[in-house]
Structure 1
Amino acid sequence: MKIGVFSDVHGHLEELHKTLELLKHLQVDQLVCAGDLVEKGLHSDAVIDVMRELAIPCIQGNHDAKAQFTWLTYNEPLQDQSIVYLGKLPVSLTFEWAGVSVYMTHANPWQDSSVYVFPTRPTALFKLVAEAVDAEVIILGHTHHPMRVQIEGKTIINPGSIYGNRDREERTCGVLSMPTCDFELYDIDTGRKLSL
């Protein structure tokens, strides 16, 4: 089973369409989004419309949480239905695919957006993340840094951002294969597989 994983769309509709086309081409069985659908780009309402229409499981990122109370993204008012959608997004989701348990949240298991789980952080932080979650795979977003870390028998992944990453030029999404927990990273513009 192949899971298409993306995150940090930030109102960029064209990049969302590119991501969905790439993941369709890669023949994924399921799509999930690790949050931050809105802000930064000009098409937050349209992004939400696509997510809602395709019923893609998504969790609430810090920008989603903020936007539902400011009603604005880049000084453009969000539609009422978008505000309701953002407010109903859960802060975490759990899945079981091919007998493997998966937990997805935006920043970290503690829902603290000031704690960034960068791939370069000390091993101790990854141990805390692994201990905080009762799942074999943990999907994160938030940092705009793609990663795959294995620790204490668990796999922690981040697909990076389809809007833009902080440590590389490519805008990225990933494919999580189950039950092996292999994770491959892709450039949404070229479709090229990237190293992690």
Structure 2
Amino acid sequence: MRILLISDIHGNKEALDAVLDIPHDKVICLGDLADYGPSPSDCIDLIMQQGIETVLGNHDAAVGSGIECGCGYKYKHLSVATRDYTREVITEEQMEFLRQLPFSIQKEIDGLRLYFTHGSPRSNYEYMKPEIPESEIEEMVSEIDADVLFIGHSHHPFIRKFQNMLIINPGSTGQPRDGDWRASCVVFDTSSSEAEIIRCDYDMDTTCKKIKENMPNSDELITILKRGY
């Protein structure tokens, strides 16, 4: 089975459409449908209509339940500035969808134990970045039993082996922060245990036009999208 992993869509419908065109058998979303981008309602609607299994991101929790997002200092002001916009444009049904998202999804496919969550197995506010020390990984994964761990949150894609576990971060579909503006995702083949990070061009001009016409802090949001951080 070819699983398409998407994460951190952040209201960018054009980027979401682009990655969903990649051939796949199943899609799983690792959270953060909301904030920063101009089309959260369209993104949530698509996820709901297609029945895409999704875990709870920190921004989803902040929008749906009004709790602190736990963002880093560099981007927190943008999260706060765009949250009122997000709440204005999504429906109550979509808000309830965000509230009901699970912390994790666990599956066994082709003999592989797969664990999907947003930040880390301990917290959807906790970052697992590409350069994270093995001692910290060991603490974060000590309570789970999995062959493959899928996480998002950092907006930095990576594939890393830790002991007998493969850790995969598809990066951000809607707001990459690794210096590459293209939408990021991963395709994981359960039959071969092979993972591929894929970057997709998308219609950024349309996304930026929506931001400029509708959102606060539009110039800063557009700059981040265009430079990829």
- Tell whether the structures are fold-level matches, with TM greater than 0.5: yes
Structure with greater Cα Rg: 2
Match of 1:194? none
Conserved in 2, the CA contact under 8 Å of 1:127 and 1:152?
no
Matches of residues 117-132 of structure 1 in structure 2 within 5 Å? 117-132=128-143
The partner residue of 2:196 within 164, 180, 184 is: 184
Conserved in 2, the CA contact under 8 Å of 1:174 and 1:185?
yes
Conserved in 2, the CA contact under 8 Å of 1:150 and 1:156?
yes
The partner residue of 2:176 within 159, 165, 186 is: 165
Q: Which runs of 5+ in 1 are unaligned?
A: 191-196
Aligned amino acid, residue 5 of structure 1: L
2:119 counterpart of 1:107: yes
Conserved in 2, the CA contact under 8 Å of 1:2 and 1:29?
yes
Match of 2:207? none
The Cα of 1:112 is off from its aligned counterpart by: 4.8
Identity %: 30
SS in 1 for 2:65: helix
Q: Which runs of 5+ in 2 are unaligned?
A: 68-81, 203-229
The Cα of 1:128 is off from its aligned counterpart by: 2.4
2:55 counterpart of 1:59: yes
Match of 1:42? 38
2:79 counterpart of 1:83: no
Distance in 2, matches of 1:44 and 1:171, equals 16
The Cα of 1:135 is off from its aligned counterpart by: 1.0
Aligned amino acid, residue 12 of structure 1: N
The Cα of 1:183 is off from its aligned counterpart by: 0.9
Cα distance per residue 1:6-53 (max 9 Å; x no partner): 1000011111111111x2xx3x11110000001111111111110000
Distance in 2, matches of 1:150 and 1:36, equals 25
Aligned amino acid, residue 139 of structure 2: L
SS in 2 for 1:172: strand
Q: How many residues align?
A: 185
Conserved in 1, the CA contact under 8 Å of 2:122 and 2:141?
no
Q: Which deviates more, 68-77 or 56-65?
A: 68-77
* Higher normalized strand content (fraction of residues): 1
Going from structure 1 to structure 2, the CA distance change for 1:18 and 1:74 (only over 3 Å counts) comes to farther
Distance in 1, matches of 2:47 and 2:195, equals 23
Q: For the aligned residues, what is the CA RMSD? A: 1.7
* Higher normalized helix content (fraction of residues): 2
Conserved in 1, the CA contact under 8 Å of 2:158 and 2:170?
yes
Distance in 2, matches of 1:85 and 1:112, equals 17
Q: TM-score, normalised by structure 2?
A: 0.76
The Cα of 1:73 is off from its aligned counterpart by: 3.2
Q: Which deviates more, 127-136 or 46-55?
A: 127-136
Distance in 2, matches of 1:63 and 1:40, equals 10
The Cα of 1:131 is off from its aligned counterpart by: 2.4
